[in-house]
Amino acid sequence: MPDLGAYSFFVLASYGMTILVLLGLCILTVSQYRSAKRKLAKFNEN
């Protein structure tokens, strides 16, 4: 862990927020894709 000095909050907050937003977007994208595929498969079954 590098010594971030007096600015540690700003650096860690920017990295944490970025990772959180990108991870959330990836999870949302994959879950929406999977649910759409399930819906299509169900529709084709009926």
Partner 1 sequence: MATRFWKFANPHHFGKLVTASTPALWSLSFLFLMTGLLWGFLFTPDDFRQGSTVKIIFVHVPSALMAINCWLMMLVSSIIWMVRRHRISILAAKAAAPVGLSFTLVALISGGLWGQPMWGTFWAWDPRLTSFLILFLHYITYQLIWIYIADKESAANISSLVCLVGSVFALLSRYAVNLWNQGLHQGATLSLDQETNIHNSYYIPLVICILGFVLLFITLVLVRTRTEIIHNQIELMEKQRRKQNA
Q: How far is the CB of 10 from partner 1 (least distance, A)?
A: 5
Q: Which distant-in-sequence residues (6+ apart) come within 8 Å of 4 by Cβ?
A: 11, 12
Q: Tell which positions 26-45 bind partner 1, by CB under 8 A.
A: 26, 28-30, 32-33, 36-37, 39-40, 43
**Rounded distance, CA 24 to CA 31, Å?**
11
Q: Which residues bind partner 1 (CB under 8 A)?
A: 1-8, 10-11, 13-15, 17-19, 21-22, 25-26, 28-30, 32-33, 36-37, 39-40, 43
